[in-house]
Chains A and B, each alone.
Chain A
Amino acid sequence: MSDLNLKKGTSAKSAYNLRPNFSDIVERHTLAVMVENEPGVLARVIGLFAGRGYNIESLTVAEVDHEGKLSRITIVTTGTPQVIEQIKAQLGRIVTVHDVHDLTVEGPSVERELAMFKVAGDGDKRVEALRLADIFRANVVDSTLKNFVFEITGAPEKIDAFADLMRPLGLVEVARTGVAALSRGI
């Protein structure tokens, strides 16, 4: 029925040619979301991710400005560039969200996560766990004759690596806080 017989992308003006930056490659982004610290604000943010089918890899939230009643939510999410743009825009739409920063694109940033590891064992394994903890600058925060609780802070990759090492040495339980992140410079 077409009188025009047009083919997608044949014109230099086609939107599909003009936006090569919208790739289909899934990226990992760390978002810092400043929100009013009021009841339900976290539910709004999480509900947005659940309702629209976005991913949450990690999420941390705590009040950072008591006087201004502001909390900072750090979300690590994945998606194509178009999805990431949508996530940011949708977050920005929430009435109690003040700012959304994409730390992944707004210049360099540092990410840290705190984790606690309970490792049980005896003999060589116990000594080895302690030795590796020292290399990773993990602190022993509790100890019994049968186990240690280590506390470690670092980038998520470092914590993953430490977890891999502890597993054969009697890893019982892990608690991780999720990522906190700040941009570098001012």
Chain B
Amino acid sequence: MTRQMTGAEMVVQALIDQGVDTVFGYPGGAVLPIYDAIFQQNHIKHVLVRHEQGAVHAAEGYARSTGKPGVCLVTSGPGATNAVTGLTDALLDSIPIIVLTGQVPTFMIGSDAFQEADTVGITRPCTKHNWLVKETNALASVLHEAFHVATSGRPGPVLVDIPKDVQFASGNYNAPQPSTSHYQPTVKGDITSITELVEAMEKAERPLFYTGGGVINSGPAASQLLRELVAATNFPITSTLMGLGAYPASGDNWLGMLGMHGLYEANMAMHGCDLMINIGARFDDRITGVISEFSPNSTKAHIDIDPSSINKVIRVDIPIVGDVGHVLEDLMKVWKSRGRKTNSAAVANWWSQIKEWQAIECLKFTQQGKVIKPQYALSRLEALTKNHDRYITTEVGQHQMWAAQYLGFEDPNRWMTSGGLGTMGYGFPASIGVQMGHPESLVINVAGEASWLMNMQELGTAMQYNLPVKQFILNNERLGMVRQWQELLHGERYSSSWSESLPDFVKLAEAFGAKGILCSDPDDLDEAIMEMLNHDGPVLFDCLVEKHENCFPMIPSGKAHNEMLLGDADTQGAIDAKGSVLV
């Protein structure tokens, strides 16, 4: 049905028709008509952030925890450029978000008008797709297509740039129809390749599932199928940072996270396996270590919805292009129809090898003395919150890796972290987005003090909307990961990696009207965490931790999976000149 309305009204109507309930944004001159339309309705809740970067990360947090696309609304010029980091973050982590930007009126475009920026030009490489809408009559179809593109195939961020005159003018609005555009990615995998993988699984002596964010993006059914497949085959499973929760951390076959700061057993299994089944991961450089030494004796299968992910970094033997959920369903069918075979004797041997690696207990630590070890802080946080309906976000750095190592995720969509881009300042606004999507749940942002300060202004947002997000800051007064690399790579010359002039976090919290808790004694930690959990409102938890703790295990730059450092004793000369030029 076609209806007449203004462009601004179309934006609101399209969001309603697409099932959007929350928009994160910040007003400005070029989006005032849309804000006026939002003011005059009650279907969509607008969350006023304190910086546009926060809006995008909040939308990411909302999207990752709910499985629905996140939506942002920002103004032209600086509003749009401030959104760029969030867009790039969402692109690298394949998160479906729709960013709507205001633009100067069409007749002023190109004149260097006030708050004009070439938004589609700037965001072209950091969106999955973007549009500049020059006619009100085209607006509805572009908005609906934006949702289609953001959520289909490999999800990602899209941007729609809407000039102010297009928002004011009237035009025809059409309700969403199933997309007829050319963009319809393949979701079913090629059955011949799937059968080839099943044959390899039947014969494999040292098989390993290596799963990633693609499982989570595919939806809860994919995680369920993965669990069934792992249980039925008894193959071990490891996951990337992005994929945590697809398989439960308490599951029998779980080896823990792999990669640069992954678990010893997971990395050794990657190195030693003879069949690697990559499900929705992309052989990121944090995962592979040095490529020439990466899992040298394995047949590699790769299931990915994005054909460009296959053979991009690692050459694979069995490529399967398709949606993880669809492919796993077919894989199960084929495997069952062929008699549910595995080489169980060999797999049992493989497991006994893995048990030896697990016996090393690479995450072991000793809490002694009066200084809190960050590992201890997270172990206590895990113990005291694991039975809650809990969502975790993180910032970026050592605390992020420790959170991935020491917290257990039993379900998908419970873990929101900036994996690909590594955006410091992601976690706090993301936690706000998560809490908006799950008002009754416990939402904790595990942070470092430096990362947290990057988007600290969002404490105002948390207060305004009474979002009881818990900011668990591991405060070592250092850029811990930078400091660690400087120790290992740059002769212990700690160039600019100190957090000088830190605020008093308790007073900072109080200045915003939030609660602040300071904890520096391991004996007080449990009680302090309980105080944080019991407070109904945002809490800034300043946990003073050991300042020079390093994050292990660690695969040094330029090294292979089986050359992990397990502790400080291993670090002498660990990274050679060739490795030091890598990131």
Contact = CB atoms under 8 A, between A and B. Distances in A.
A4 B271 contact: yes
Which bracket fits the contact residues of A? Answer: 35 or more
Interface stretch (A7-15, A59-67, A102-110, A162-170): A7-15
B297 A89 contact: no
A93 B312 CA distance: 13
Given A4-B562, A40-B120, A93-B306, A51 B296 contact: no
Contacts of B137: none
B153 to A, nearest CB: 9
Interface centre among B121, B149, B268, B315 (most CB of A within 10 A): B315
A16 B300 CA distance: 10
A67 B482 CA distance: 56
Interface string B309-320: 011101111000
A1 interface: yes
Contacts of B124: 40, 43-44, 47
Nearest to B264: A1
Interface stretch (B74-82, B125-133, B382-390, B457-465): B125-133
A85 B357 CA distance: 38
Contacts of A13: 274-275, 297-299
Contacts of B563: 1-2
Given A4-B272, A92-B307, A15 B182 contact: no
A95 B272 CA distance: 39
Contacts of B182: 36, 96, 98
With a 10 A CB-CB cut-off, give which of B293, B312, B563 has the most chain A CB atoms.
Answer: B312
Contact of B271 (A6, A11, A15, A43): A6
B564 interface: yes
Contact of A8 (B121, B293, B310): B293
A141 to B, nearest CB: 36
Contacts of B4: none
Given A15-B314, A16-B315, A89-B307, A95 B128 contact: yes
Contacts of A186: none
A55 interface: no
A175 interface: no
Given A15-B316, A82-B315, A2 B271 contact: yes
A96 B271 CA distance: 40
A18 interface: yes
B308 A95 contact: no
B183 interface: yes
A6 B274 contact: no
A89 B312 CA distance: 9
Contact of B308 (A16, A47, A92): A92
A86 B312 contact: yes
Nearest to A92: B307
Nearest to B130: A40
Max chain A Cβ within 10 angstroms of own Cβ: one of B125, B132, B275, B293: B125
B292 interface: yes
Interface in B178-236: 182-183
B182 to A, nearest CB: 5
A14 to B, nearest CB: 6
Contact of A6 (B128, B132, B292, B296): B296
Contacts of B300: 15
A39 B293 CA distance: 44
A4 B293 CA distance: 13
A10 B297 contact: yes
A133 to B, nearest CB: 43
Nearest to B121: A43
B308 A86 contact: yes
Nearest to A21: B315
A3 B357 CA distance: 9
Nearest to A11: B297
A184 interface: no
Contacts of B314: 15
A15 B299 contact: yes
B183 A95 contact: yes
A114 B88 CA distance: 41
Given A15-B317, A36-B182, A1 B271 contact: no
Interface in B125-170: 125, 128-129, 132, 149, 154
B296 A9 contact: yes
Contacts of B317: 15, 18-19
Given A95-B183, A98-B182, A89 B310 contact: yes
Contact of B311 (A7, A16, A82, A98): A82
A96 B110 CA distance: 24
Nearest to A99: B182
A93 B315 contact: no
B268 A95 contact: no
A103 to B, nearest CB: 19
B201 to A, nearest CB: 13
Contact of A95 (B121, B125, B129, B306): B129
A90 B308 contact: yes
B268 A3 contact: yes
Contacts of B306: 89, 93
Contacts of B308: 86, 89-90, 92-93
21 contacts: A2-B271, A3-B268, A6-B271, A6-B296, A6-B297, A7-B296, A13-B297, A14-B298, A15-B315, A15-B316, A16-B315, A19-B315, A40-B120, A40-B121, A51-B125, A85-B311, A89-B308, A93-B306, A93-B307, A94-B129, A95-B183
6 nearest interchain CB pairs? Answer: A89-B308, A8-B296, A95-B129, A11-B297, A2-B562, A13-B299
Given A8-B297, A15-B299, 14 more contacts: A3-B356, A6-B271, A6-B297, A8-B292, A10-B297, A11-B296, A13-B297, A16-B315, A18-B317, A43-B124, A86-B312, A90-B308, A94-B129, A95-B183
Interface of A: 1-4, 6-11, 13-16, 18-19, 22, 36, 39-40, 43-44, 47, 51, 82, 85-86, 89-90, 92-96, 98
